[in-house]
Amino acid sequence: MEYFPKRFALWSLVLVLIGTIYSSLALLNGIEDLAQDFFLSKTTITVILLPFLINFPENTTITLAAYIDQMDQAVLVATSSVIHMNLVVFPAMVLFGWAMKQPVTLELVGPGLVVCGIGIWVTGSVLQDGKSNYLEGMICIGLYVIFALMFCLFPENV
């Protein structure tokens, strides 16, 4: 039994897509005002605050799964998200930038490369044995706080 006709579903999808694009543009246009009002750099907002807010539902799902002792599910959600970003989103951004003649480079230099390398190393170390404990969680949170402070205090060098 079909509750809604396919045409209704298609138009709903188009309207939601248009709304998402409009919301994204409004968000991007408001970053400069937000940076000036709260005395934050654009780097801090785009690297620390936006990903945290955008991924909040996913982070909540991961936290709840870990809390009810479903670590396999939590690790699966977290790693699949990272794989999705690296294999789909980043290459798509580069291709869209190329199509719009707006170059998008994924070049990591200096501190950004160090942050990426340390993050990969710590994550690999935590996931290696397939178990987790509070100390490993605190190490990951502490590393995130250190990186966030680095992006806040030295945004032009990152």
Inter-residue contact 150 to 111 (CB < 8 Å): yes
pLDDT tens per residue, range 41-96: 888 888 888 888 888 988 899 889 888 988 888 888 888 888 888 899 888 988 98
Residue 111 burial (CB < 10 Å; 0-12/13-18/19+)?
A: middle
pLDDT the model gives residue 109: 77
Greater model confidence, 151 or 10: 10
Greater model confidence, 112 or 98: 98
pLDDT the model gives residue 4: 72
pLDDT the model gives residue 157: 64
pLDDT the model gives residue 18: 95
Calpha distance 62→46 (Å, rounded): 22
Question: Is residue 133's pLDDT more than 90?
Answer: no
